[in-house]
Amino acid sequence: MSRYTPKQYASALFESLQELGAKADVVVKGFVKMLVGNYDRALLPKILMQFKKLERTKAGRHEVVLTSARPLEKSVIADVKKKVGENSGITEVVDPRVLGGVRILINDEVVIDGTLKSRINKMVEQLVKVVG
């Protein structure tokens, strides 16, 4: 089991690069050496994901994923972009399994789940509690 979480590794790398930006190659080489020494190379994809989150946060950008059963109107996407910031990235995912409504993820966290599938699942859970 690893000593550090991917988030801890990413924070340490991010802070080191902020402090010693001019010596980035030295910092990265030392970081990789530490990962190998701790037998944590397999964590690298998760560390990079956490590192990207830190970069986005510092820059005030957000990664938004809008999931709906059908393509959303361009005006809806434009409204979301205005609310989260013009320099934020918006990805639209069409997934017929959501049945209807929309799910909004910002920086990999569910902010709104107004999908019909989610509502049906909640109703089934409540029904099971009552009947069960």
* pTM for this predicted structure: 0.62
Task: Say yes or no: 35 and 76 in one domain.
Answer: no
Task: Say yes or no: 74 and 45 in one domain.
Answer: no
Domain containing 111 equals: 63-131
Task: Say yes or no: 55 and 80 in one domain.
Answer: no
In a domain, residue 1? The reply is: no
Q: pLDDT in tens for each of the 132 residues of the chain?
A: 568 899 999 999 999 888 876 688 888 899 999 999 999 999 999 999 899 888 888 888 888 999 999 999 999 899 988 888 888 889 999 999 999 999 999 888 888 898 998 989 999 999 899 887
Chain position carrying tokens 């809008």: 66
Helix 24-37 with 6-19: angle, nearest 10 deg: 160
In a domain, residue 41? The reply is: yes
Domain end, chosen from 59, 81, 101, is at: 59
- Could you list the beta-strand ranges (E) of the chain: 63-68, 89-94, 102-106, 109-113
Chain position carrying tokens 């205005």: 82
